[in-house]
Each structure stands twice: as C-alpha cells, then as structure tokens.
Amino acid sequence: MKLTHILSAAALSFAFSGAAYATDINGAGASFPAPVYQAWAAAYKEKTGNGMNYQSIGSGGGQNQIVNRTVDFGASDAPMADDKLASNNLLQFPTVIGSVVPTVNLDGIGDGQLTLSGAVLADIYQGKITKWNDEKIAALNKGVKLPDTAIVPIYRSDSSGTSFVFTSYLSAVSPDWKSNVGAATSVQWPAGAGAKGNEGVSGMVKNTKGAIGYVEFVYAAANSLPTTNLVNKAGKVVKPSVPAFMDAAAAADWAGAKNFAASMIDTAGDSAWPIVSATYILLPKNPNNADQSAAVIKFFDWAYTADGDAIAEKLHYIPLPDSVVANIKKAWSSEVKVDGKAVWTN
C-alpha cells in the first residue's frame, strides 16, 4: 500500500465540523514526521477551514528555510544547536515521538525474522561487513538461512534528521563509528548508496535486492518493508513496536533538557527500542507576521488535543507527555512576541 493511501485513510477517518475562516500556514522540513503533519493538516482543514501546507524536504532544508524566513515554521528531527537558536531568534519545541527502524530486502527473510546489533549495523554502514551470511550476522541469527548476497547499505543523500537520529545511535553503540564518522544530519558515508528523503530510502530498499536502509517506522509499514529486530542496551532482542517505542520515550529526561532536546537514543530497559526520537518545530520568536505565527501555534495547539493524538497514534507515533505540552504552551506565551506583545496566550 502506498504511503499516500495511508495518509488519506488516516486523515479521512477523522471528520470534524467547525469554523470556516481560512488562514493558510506554510512549513517545510523533516520527512520523519511528514505523514502525521499531513494527516493533521487534512483533519484541521476539515475542522476549521484553515490550511497547513507542508513540504517534506529534509531537516537541513527545514532549518535553512526558517532561518531565511521563507516559511512560517521549519521542522527538524535534529535539534538545532543552542547558539544557532539564539542567533536566529528561534523557539524550538517537539511535536511527537517517532522511531527509526532498519529495513531490508532479502529473499526468504520476512518482517522480524532477522536480528542485528548496533555494532553490526555500524560495521555494515562502514563497509566492514559486506555479505548477509557474514559470521557476525549469523551469530545473531541461529537457525536462520542467510543468503550469500552482497549487502547494499542505503542512506540519506540529503541533510536529514533521520540520519542524525540513526548516526547518533551508531555513535552511541560503536566507538569506532563515533570517532571515524560521527553523528550529524549529513555525514561522509563509508559505504552504500544515497537516496533523498524517507520516501527515497524506502523506494530504493524495496527495489534493491540485498539492501538495508533506515526509515521512520511508518514508511516501512506503508511500503510493506520487512524490519529487523535489534539487540538493545539491556542485551535483549526487541522488535519495533509502539510499546517498545513508548518504553524508550518514558526514559527521556525532559526536565533536564534545554530547548526541549531530550535524548531517547539507546535508553535502558529490557523492552525499549533503541532508536527513538522526538521531532521538532522551529518558530521565530520575533515573527514578521503575528497573525501567521499565531495561526501556526493554533494549529499545533490543536494537534496536542485528543483528536491530534489519535491521528498520531494511528500512524505509530507517540504523543508527548502532558507535562511537556504544558511547558511548550508556556513557551509560546512567553517567548513569541511582536513589539513586546505575545502573539498567543494560553
């Protein structure tokens, strides 16, 4: 089933009646949350008559566009650096929590039938493990018939928050990866082939025998791509699932996180999925157009309601804790101003 079909079904399953005034807002950035943003937009348009246009161009593109003030809001999976937020007078806040999963195209290997570890993933993407029947993969998959097929690692060719999340995980579990490649929205990939967006990686994996890629979970589900299990920090084999993502999210230190940038990478817990992250919105604190910024805030204020949460959960995202949402709303009121006056009050 195509992703667009899932988005349409998710959006159309939530119908509302409501106000009919129209204020369209424009955003751009991460492909990681694009499915839920587009589904939210459809439901919000139905409810209020207000449109939200979102371009899935990658986190780097979203950061650049909001810095240049060519959109009303930017979106990024990679938290923007504190100094860059300050110099560009931007407020950063999370919207939902999602997960990154490895996905493969191997004859005879279905969903959840292959197990990998972080160290093995790092070796694959560094070109150190090149065949699917390598002894390190075989040791994790006793009784599984592994093909003597070349591994084709697929990575994001664009500046990507999904890449930031994935490489942050590889840096957490592999000292060699951390010292030689590192974590960033764009890195010098030692091996493999690039594709643009979660959409592009999904498509290339689906069409390439022997491929492995990393995508946001909804893209794997939408494209019927087999996902792998992972060995987590506790040494347990876990399958990607909403409960496993929630276990990881529960370990986030929101109280100690500056600019809401709480890490959920490789958290402790027997059942925690190790590659989980929030995704973020970037909004000017000194907007050129108070009405447009107020409309952006109203949109995300609605997205945090039970209706928005239900749409997010349908697409396998995790809503934020109520306490985090409360702090986000305080930040909207206190930090987004024009001529000293708040553009939105809670």
- Gap between the Cα atoms of 225 and 166, Å rounded: 18
Please give the pLDDT value at position 12: 32
Please give the pLDDT value at position 5: 39
Q: Which residue in 255, 298, 263 sits closest to 280, CA to CA? A: 263
Please give the pLDDT value at position 22: 55
pLDDT, one tens digit for every residue, the chain (346 residues): 334 433 433 333 333 333 334 579 999 999 999 999 999 999 999 999 999 999 999 999 999 999 999 999 999 999 999 999 999 999 999 999 999 999 999 999 999 999 999 999 999 999 999 999 999 999 999 999 999 999 999 999 999 999 999 999 999 999 999 999 999 999 999 999 999 999 999 999 999 999 999 999 999 998 899 999 999 999 999 999 999 999 999 999 999 999 999 999 999 999 999 999 999 999 999 999 999 999 999 999 999 999 999 999 999 999 999 999 999 999 999 999 998 899 998 7
CA torsion through residues 127, 131, 132, 134, sign? negative
Which CATH number is 3-98+277-342's, of 3.40.50.20, 3.40.50.720, 1.10.3720.10, 3.40.190.10? 3.40.190.10
Angstrom distances, CA of residue 115 to CA of 84, 101, 138, 143, 167: 39, 12, 9, 12, 19
Task: Please give the DSSP secondary-structure letter assigned to residue 272.
Answer: -
Structural domain boundaries in the chain:
3-98+277-342, 100-250+264-275
- Gap between the Cα atoms of 154 and 129, Å rounded: 14
CATH of domain 100-250+264-275: 3.40.190.10
* CATH topology match: 3-98+277-342 vs 100-250+264-275: yes
- DSSP states along 147-178: ---B-EEEEESS--HHHHHHHHHHHHH-HHHH
Please give the pLDDT value at position 11: 37
Please give the pLDDT value at position 346: 77
Segment holding 68, helix H or strand E:
none
Rounded to 5 degrees, φ, ψ at 192 are: 105, -165
Neighbours of 246 (CB within 10 A): 17
Please give the pLDDT value at position 1: 37
